[in-house]
């Protein structure tokens, strides 16, 4: 039988969504795909709206308990035949991949038909069915009308998803974007979902929230919060107890020290200066730059002395950087740097999209936009696994400070205080497995390995770290 995308919303979540409407008492509200009727039931209980609904599956439709209810006008059929105007639309649209849409011809549904129906809001033929449902819903909404939908997050940052978003914001305001943590559906479908509320024909800011679904209990958080995902059992320790953490090299004036205009390379070292130059989870193919690294006891060549003199003149003329200007005025050797021993693991100080702890393959030096992590008494690949998993990423996403433009700043103490399983408690087999996964991640960069590590470490943390992490990240990055 063709897939009709039948995943049913929990009654508590349907109630939560219905309560998001701010329509007049006698508003006309449509559920375009009734399923078992969670939204209709909630609309009947919690509003005085006139309720309309459509369901294509005959058996489901015939089983609905509301037929004959004077406030309901429900029909069996295809939503893409609907052309009436509504004040409100609420839906959990069917999730049907584009390749599967062709199996729906027995129901009178073809891709050509839905593309034609959505012609006013065109989208790529690769769109999932839920996108067509929302776009057609938008077409049926009156100006000022509201559409509330729960659907997968998979569209975010994909080419088709970007087209979808463009269509939505051309015609409406995304008033609310709610990332959902936990399972909002009956049964146990593994989908990462969001709830959006659109208002047609208006503009304005989007309000971001997170909805936590714990069984039938719901609660929402506006923005950042910091419960830890660690269960708090004794099997956990802080990273600072098993590793040493420090910042990379600070120069005070990168322009003068990095790629210096000097032929003499005696005191130049290779350095990683940008997290963007790291591909995957190791520095194997990283782009290196040169840095002038004159230590306390180094003797300068004539060329170096002349370069330092030029730099001093420039700093004094410019009056900056102030800290170096002050040192020059006090006659200090401002150009001599403290060069720490390179560390085997690296972590970027500012996060854009993905977090990652990176294996420093050739033990390169790094600038102070990285943290350097050296394990005290455990093997590096084991530590790669203990750090590269969603339990740890979630802690960092919770603790980091937002830095504008969706960036997240991670402080040294956030890294030092990370709660990770105490390696002493692992069996030999666990150590071998985690070490092998850490090595595989380093060598292949495959993100599915992070899922495997997360699962292996699950017993030490609360469930759902990945979903919660992704929800927080959606909140931070916006849509």
Binding site for ligand SAM (CB under 6 A): 4-9, 31-36, 38-39, 54-57, 60, 78-80, 92, 94, 109
Q: How far is the CB of 24 from ligand SAM (least distance, A)?
A: 23
Q: Which is closer to ligand SAM, CB of 53 or CB of 400?
A: 53
Q: Which is closer to ligand SAM, CB of 109 or CB of 449?
A: 109
Q: Which is closer to ligand SAM, CB of 74 or CB of 437?
A: 74
Q: How far is the CB of 341 from ligand SAM (least distance, A)?
A: 56
Mapping DSSP onto H, E and C, the string for the chain reads CCCCCCCCECHHHHHHHHCCCCCCCCCEEEECCCCCCHHHHHHHHHCCCEEEEEECCHHHHHHCCCCCCCCEEEEECCHHHCCCCEEEEEECCCCCCHHHHHHHHHHCCCHHHHHHHCCCCCCCCCCCHHHHHHHHHHHHEEEEEEEEEEEEHHHCCCHHHHHHHHHHHHHEEEEEEEEEEECCECCCCCCCEEEEEEEECCCCCCEEEEEEEECCEEEEECCCCCCCCECCCCCEEEHHHCEEEEECECCCCHHHHECCCCCCCCCEEEEECCHHHCCCCECCCCCCEEEECECCCCCCCHHHHHHHHHHHHHHHHHCCCHHHHHHHHCCCCCCECCCCCCCCEEEECEECCCCCEEECCCCCEEECCEEEEEECCCCHHHHHHHHCCHHHHHHHHHHCEECCCCCEECCHHHHHCCEEECHHHCCHHHHHHHHHHHHHHHHHCCCHHHHHHHHHCHHHECCCHHHHHHHHHHHHHCC
Q: Which is closer to ligand SAM, CB of 152 or CB of 340?
A: 152
Q: Which is closer to ligand SAM, CB of 9 or CB of 464?
A: 9
Q: How far apart are CA 441 and CA 459, in angstroms?
A: 21
Q: Which is closer to ligand SAM, CB of 97 or CB of 255?
A: 97
Q: How far is the CB of 421 from ligand SAM (least distance, A)?
A: 38
Q: How far is the CB of 104 from ligand SAM (least distance, A)?
A: 7
Q: How far is the CB of 21 from ligand SAM (least distance, A)?
A: 15
In a 10 Å sphere around its CB, with 0-12 CB exposed, 13-18 middle and 19+ buried, how is residue 83 labelled?
Answer: exposed
Who's near 1: CB < 8 A, 6+ residues apart? none
Q: How far is the CB of 30 from ligand SAM (least distance, A)?
A: 11
Q: Which is closer to ligand SAM, CB of 103 or CB of 403?
A: 103
Q: Which is closer to ligand SAM, CB of 130 or CB of 426?
A: 130
Q: How far is the CB of 61 from ligand SAM (least distance, A)?
A: 9
Q: Give the length of the chain.
A: 479
Q: Which is closer to ligand SAM, CB of 79 or CB of 257?
A: 79
Q: How far is the CB of 12 from ligand SAM (least distance, A)?
A: 12
Q: How far is the CB of 46 from ligand SAM (least distance, A)?
A: 15
Q: How far is the CB of 208 from ligand SAM (least distance, A)?
A: 23
Q: Which is closer to ligand SAM, CB of 92 or CB of 282?
A: 92
Q: How far is the CB of 8 from ligand SAM (least distance, A)?
A: 3
What residue is closest to ligand SAM based on CB? Answer: 35
Q: Which is closer to ligand SAM, CB of 32 or CB of 275?
A: 32
Q: How far apart are CA 86 and CA 207, in angstroms?
A: 24
């Amino acid at each position: 039988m063709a897939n009709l995308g039948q995943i049913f919303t929990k009654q508590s979540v349907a109630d939560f969504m219905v309560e998001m409407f701010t329509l007049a008492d006698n508003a006309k509200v449509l559920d375009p795909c009734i399923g078992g009727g969670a939204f209709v039931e909630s609309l009947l209980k919690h509003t005085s709206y006139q309720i309309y609904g459509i369901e294509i599956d005959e058996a489901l439709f015939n089983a609905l308990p509301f037929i004959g209810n004077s406030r309901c006008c429900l029909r069996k059929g295809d939503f893409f035949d609907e052309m009436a105007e509504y004040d409100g639309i609420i839906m959990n649209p069917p999730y049907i991949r584009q390749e599967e849409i062709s199996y729906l011809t027995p129901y009178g549904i073809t891709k050509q038909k839905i593309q034609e129906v959505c012609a006013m809001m065109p989208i790529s033929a690769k769109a999932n069915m839920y996108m067509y449902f929302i776009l057609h819903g938008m077409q049926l909404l009156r100006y000022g009308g509201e559409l509330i939908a729960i659907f997968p997050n998979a569209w975010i940052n994909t080419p088709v998803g970007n087209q979808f978003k463009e269509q939505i914001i051309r015609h409406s305001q995304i008033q609310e974007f709610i990332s959902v943590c936990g399972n909002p559906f009956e049964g146990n479908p593994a989908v990462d979902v969001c709830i959006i509320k659109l208002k047609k024909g208006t503009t304005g800011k989007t309000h971001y929230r997170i909805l936590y679904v714990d069984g039938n209990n719901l609660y929402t958080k506006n923005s950042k919060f910091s419960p830890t995902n660690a269960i708090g059992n004794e099997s956990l320790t802080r990273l600072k107890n098993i590793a040493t953490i420090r910042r990379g090299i600070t120069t005070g004036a990168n322009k003068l020290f990095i790629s210096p205009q000097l032929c003499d390379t005696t005191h130049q070292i290779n350095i990683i200066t940008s997290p963007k130059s790291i591909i995957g989870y190791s520095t194997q193919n990283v782009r290196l730059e040169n840095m002038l690294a004159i230590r306390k006891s180094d003797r300068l060549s004539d060329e170096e002395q002349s370069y330092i003199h030029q730099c001093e003149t420039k700093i004094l003329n410019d009056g900056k950087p102030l800290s170096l200007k002050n040192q020059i005025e006090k006659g200090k050797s401002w150009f001599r740097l403290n060069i720490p021993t390179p560390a085997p693991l690296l972590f970027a100080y500012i996060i854009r999209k993905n977090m990652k702890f990176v294996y420093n393959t050739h033990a390169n030096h790094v600038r102070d936009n990285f943290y350097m992590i050296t394990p005290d008494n455990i093997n590096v690949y084991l530590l790669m696994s203990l750090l590269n998993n969603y339990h740890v990423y979630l802690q960092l996403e919770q603790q980091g400070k937002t830095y504008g433009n969706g960036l997240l700043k991670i402080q040294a103490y956030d890294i030092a205080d990370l709660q990770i399983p105490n390696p002493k408690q692992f069996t030999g087999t666990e150590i071998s497995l985690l070490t092998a996964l850490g090595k595989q991640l380093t060598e292949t960069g495959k993100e599915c390995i992070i899922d495997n590590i997360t699962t292996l470490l699950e017993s030490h943390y609360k469930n759902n770290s990945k979903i919660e992490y992704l929800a927080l990240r959606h909140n931070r990055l916006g849509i």
